Structure 1
Amino acid sequence: MRKGLPPKDSDELVLFQKGYKLLKKLGEGSYAPVFFTEYTDSKKKEEPRKLACKIIDTKKAPKDFVKKFLPRELEILALISHPHIIHVQSIFLRKQRYYIFMKLAEKGDLLDYLLKNGATSENRARVWFRQIALAVQYLHELGVAHRDLKCENCLISANNNLKIADFGFARFVVNAEGQNMTSSTYCGSLNYAAPELLKGNPYFPKSSDCWSLGVILYAMLNKSMPFEEKNVRNLINRQTQKKWKFRSKVVDALSEEVKHITKRLLDPDPNSRWKIGQIVDSDWIRMDNRLWEMSPDEQRCLNQARKEFARYVEKLKTTKDGTGPNFSKSSTLQLIKQTDLEKDKSILLKSQRFPMAVIPMIDKRSGEQSMEKEKTGDAKRRKR
């Protein structure tokens, strides 16, 4: 598509009329490609916003995904807002396709960064790891587990901040008593998956999230994975026997505190593995006195998560079995199908022939600040 000209595709034309212009494909999936997009607000005189658009074609996607995982993802995306989670601006439905517009991560994902730049310094790892740990803490306080934490789903913003993305496997994991529930669905990527998940037994998703955080931390510090096995049985054996170690080229330069937190996160016993609160309050994080306290936005989001959690638990008590709402009939998905424009004119947008529904997302400004420069000697070498 040439910049400046309206698109010929009917779907893209409707989006174009609403200010969204799909420009370039960033990635390809079997049923969910991602496009670089520009958004122009006709009411404001400002530069176009740079966004990424994930297009989910429900006709091409597996039926199980469309009926179970997609409704959960949409419900959670409509709820969450945190400075270290990629911001979703809006979600459109046109015929069989969902268009999810989110803020563009200009510097790619963490995996690409490590492949291009090598292992991070411990100082950079501390700042980045704290950011994604705070995002996971927010989710867990909300009663949500991500279930697919990995380097590819940690995106780097223009200001060098790390943000969690991709909530395709996320779900609420608490019951009507506010207690954590087990899950039996295999989710995530093999080398980031906790041993209890790989064994095929019911597992606690929040604990498996913490294991995945341990793998990400190890990858940051070593530019390699703690376990690289294609055979599941061999992988489980290596995990349960703790057959991993820091690479010889970095081990002597690492602090005892970061070695300790990595060991506690890669604990094969989920009962003794560190929980998210222990991670955020760890001695390693507190080695940098700038990170002792949350920013106002971080604290506000955490407080809001606790309020939303209380509302969610109350909602569960009204369901028949107390295990959770039916997401196929959730309030978010009902917004898509609502036709009474007198109630909320922003809910359903119509072109001349084809309806397009939109879930309006509140544009919550995170007040993101640039990460301070590393004090280590290799900081300059890793600058882009």
Structure 2
Amino acid sequence: MGSRNIIGIGICSYSVLDMINYGSFGDIFKISKKQDEKIYAMKQMKYRGDFRDDAYIMSELYCLSRLKHRNIISLHDIVIDVIEIHIIMEYAANENLQRYLFSHKNMSHGQKYDIFAQVLHGVMYCHSMEIAHRDLTPVNILLTDDVMVKIADFGLAVKCISDAGSLLLCTDYIGTASYLPPQVLSQQPFLPKPVDVWSLGILLIFIICLEVPYKGFQDDILAQQRKESWVDFIEIKSHALDCIVPKEILCLLRECLRLDATERTRIEEIVCKWDKFKATAL
């Protein structure tokens, strides 16, 4: 693949090495900087007119320019040309969590607990900055060579409070259905932080079972959610995997996956409980 795909002002100082992934909001490339051959990842996003009118591009730029945390993908450079914007970020060699888990099925519980702990700390930092990710799936969680978590893909992320300090409700009902709570799937205006908490619960189930409990179309998922069928799902899957899910994890899942968003536990409490559990479980 030639660098002709990303020609623009300043982009010629980088070389394209490989395609990493096709994304709904942009394609991801592995690139190197010609000056020092350092490896980066680049998200290439097309736009029409003024890129500042594209909500997804602006959300990505807003979040990456403000979020500075060891578990958040870091921004290196932004290159803009007449039809594309190139967001250049740190490179995560182990790619995404979904692929990593499928290729490391014998990973120890301790390693899985540590990965989830890193995700929690990254999300807690986002929430402390009044930003909600809204698309926390294993595909959007990247891993470096030393298996450090890097939360990425902030195209659906939103500010949680207005400039005046009031809570902001979301009315765009998008995301990965299997990871979305009933408020989003039933298209009710919602606060974004509890959406992340619900997604974290589903993510934890995926990390343990390598499957999500809710599948199908939106109506199918809603029906499964109302029955709280994740409990039976975990019991069946843990039996098939010949493992016992600790009661502390089950209790935490109940707090994350409450149907009423107002009853879901805040991320700070989840982090505190998980860190205590991890310290005793290892």
TM-score, normalized by length of structure 2? 0.89
Structure-2 residue corresponding to 1:218: 205
Paired residue type of 1:73: E
Distance 1:39 1:175, change over 3 A: same
**Count of residue pairs the alignment pairs up:** 277
Mapped contact 1:210–1:265 kept (Cα < 8 A) = yes
Which residue among 180, 185, 193 is the counterpart of 1:206? Answer: 193
CA offset at residue 9 of structure 1?
6.5
Distance in 1 (alpha carbons) for counterparts of 2:129 and 2:112: 25
Confirm or deny that 1:287 pairs with 2:277: yes
Paired residue type of 1:11: I
Which residue among 20, 41, 54 is the counterpart of 1:52? Answer: 41
Structure-2 residue corresponding to 1:356: none
SS at match of 2:178: helix
Distance in 2 (alpha carbons) for counterparts of 1:14 and 1:177: 37
Structure-2 residue corresponding to 1:271: 262
SS at match of 1:281: helix
> Structure 1 unaligned runs (5+)?
42-46, 291-373, 376-384
Confirm or deny that 1:22 pairs with 2:16: yes
Which residue among 72, 76, 86 is the counterpart of 1:99? Answer: 86
- Give the aligned CA root-mean-square deviation in angstroms: 2.6
Distance 1:172 1:52, change over 3 A: same
> C-alpha deviations, 1:1-56, integer Å up to 9, x for none?
57xxxx5678168423xx31112222224662211101244xxxxx5211111111
> C-alpha deviations, 1:207-254, integer Å up to 9, x for none?
0111001111100001111111x2212211211221123112347522
Mapped contact 1:121–1:221 kept (Cα < 8 A) = no
Mapped contact 1:86–1:165 kept (Cα < 8 A) = yes
Mapped contact 2:9–2:81 kept (Cα < 8 A) = no
Paired residue type of 1:286: K
Structure-2 residue corresponding to 1:232: 218
Structure-2 residue corresponding to 1:11: 7
Mapped contact 2:25–2:155 kept (Cα < 8 A) = no
Distance in 2 (alpha carbons) for counterparts of 1:53 and 1:167: 14
Which residue among 230, 244, 258 is the counterpart of 2:230? Answer: 244
Distance in 2 (alpha carbons) for counterparts of 1:122 and 1:113: 14
TM-score, normalized by length of structure 1? 0.66
Confirm or deny that 1:139 pairs with 2:129: no
> C-alpha deviations, 1:138-191, integer Å up to 9, x for none?
111111111111010010111111110000011112134534321111121010
> Structure 2 unaligned runs (5+)?
none
Paired residue type of 1:51: Y
Mapped contact 2:198–2:256 kept (Cα < 8 A) = yes
SS at match of 1:212: helix
SS at match of 2:135: coil
Mapped contact 1:148–1:188 kept (Cα < 8 A) = yes
Distance in 2 (alpha carbons) for counterparts of 1:180 and 1:251: 44
SS at match of 1:271: helix
SS at match of 2:127: helix
Of structures 1 and 2, the larger Rg is shown by 1
Mapped contact 1:125–1:217 kept (Cα < 8 A) = no
Distance in 1 (alpha carbons) for counterparts of 2:164 and 2:25: 37
Confirm or deny that 1:181 pairs with 2:168: yes
Distance in 2 (alpha carbons) for counterparts of 1:266 and 1:183: 19
